[in-house]
Amino acid sequence: MLGIDPGPSKHGWALLDFSTPNAPVWFLGGACEEIEGVFDGLDASGTRPALVAIEQPRALHNPMANGPVIATAWAGGIVVGLARSRGFEVVEVGQNEWRLALVGHSRAGDNVDHKVEAHLRRFVRQFPTRSSTHARDAAGVACVAYRAARMHGLGGIGGQRA
């Protein structure tokens, strides 16, 4: 499973191995300015994830955030198109959606980023001691998308296709 956290200037990515569904393993990840290099690397290595999960903003939070959210949505759309053009099955996951599924509800003032990282450190084997926030979020996107894929049979992962 490849998770991608797109951004207007940097994209986070995380490749997780879900051979053991309840104990995924961190395989590779990082942050880059050009996501095409990640897809090129996968093609060159023969690694073909069953599904590419891409974070997409679903709502504007406040007027001050509109510009960055729109830029992130634009970048995410480009990444979705690029992944599909290379033949990957893509699932889009909203930012609030994956965070809520991963760590549950939070109260105002809670450090949700800290909760996400703590959960991933407990759940994902070989999660790096140091990683960028972009790669961390990409891993969270991949974990939540994998759960959904198992329930709905996306990418040939678990479940039954309709």
User: Would 86 be classed as within a structural domain?
Assistant: yes
72-87: pLDDT as tens digits = 889 999 999 999 999 9
Looking at the structure of the chain, the number of domains it has is 1
User: Across residues 61-75, what is the average pLDDT?
Assistant: 80
First to last CA, the chain: 21
| Residue 57 structural domain | 2-156
Pull the structure tokens for residue 156.
Answer: 């040939």
The separation between CA 101 and the C-alpha centre of its own chain, rounded to angstroms, equals: 13
pLDDT at 150: 85
Average pLDDT over residues 34-50: 91
pTM for the model: 0.89
Look at residue 70 and tell me if it is in a domain.
yes
pLDDT tens column, 8-30: 999 999 999 999 878 899 999 99
CATH code of the domain containing 130: 3.30.420.10
